[in-house]
Amino acid sequence: MVKDKFSLKSMKKSNTELILSIILKNQPISRANISKMTKLSRAAVSSIVQNLLDEGFISEIGVDREQTGTGRKGILLEGNRNFVTVGFDINSNLDRLICLDINGNVVEKAQFTRKNVDFIEEIRDSLKMFFSSSKLKGKNIKSVGIAFPGFVSEKENIIAITPYLRNENNFSALKELENTFGIPFRFENKAKLMTIAEKNYGYGKDSKNMLFINIAVGIGSGLFIDGKMYKGSSNLSGEIGHFKIMDEDGDECVCGSRGCLETVLSSWGLVKRYNKFSASKIEGQYRSDVVVERALEGDETAVKVIEEAGHYLGFVLANISNVLNLDLIVIGGSNPVRNCDIFKQKLVKDFDRYSLGVIRREVEIKF
Q: Return the pLDDT at 68.
A: 66
Nearest alpha-carbon partner for 82 in 101, 99, 100: 101
Select the more confidently predicted residue: 118 or 83.
83
CATH 3.30.420.40 residue ranges in the chain? 83-183, 204-366
Q: 204-366, superfamily in CATH?
A: ATPase, nucleotide binding domain (3.30.420.40)
Hey, which of 49-63, 237-251, 321-335 has the most confident mean pLDDT? Answer: 321-335
User: In the prediction, which pLDDT does 1 show?
Assistant: 44
Q: Rounded distance, CA 351 to CA 297, Å? A: 26
Please say if the pLDDT value at position 209 is more than 60.
yes
The least confident of 165-169, 259-263, 305-309, 318-322 is 165-169
Which one is the CATH code of 2-79: 1.20.1090.10, 1.10.150.390, 1.10.10.10, 1.10.3720.10? 1.10.10.10
* pLDDT confidence of residue 6: 52
The CATH number corresponding to 83-183 among 3.40.50.300, 3.30.1330.10, 3.30.420.40, 3.10.580.10 equals 3.30.420.40
At 278-310, the pLDDT tens digits run 999 999 999 999 999 999 999 999 999 999 999
Task: List strand residue ranges (DSSP E) for 34-150, in order.
Answer: 58-63, 75-79, 83-90, 94-101, 106-113, 140-148
Q: Are 240 and 213 in contact (CB under 8 A)?
A: yes
C-alpha 300/C-alpha 98 separation (Å) is 41
- The predicted-structure confidence for 347-360, as pLDDT tens digits, reads as follows 999 999 999 999 99
- Predicted confidence band at 234 (pLDDT cuts at 50, 70, 90)? confident
**Rounded Cα distance, 288 and 112, in Å:** 23
Share of the chain above pLDDT 70, in %: 91
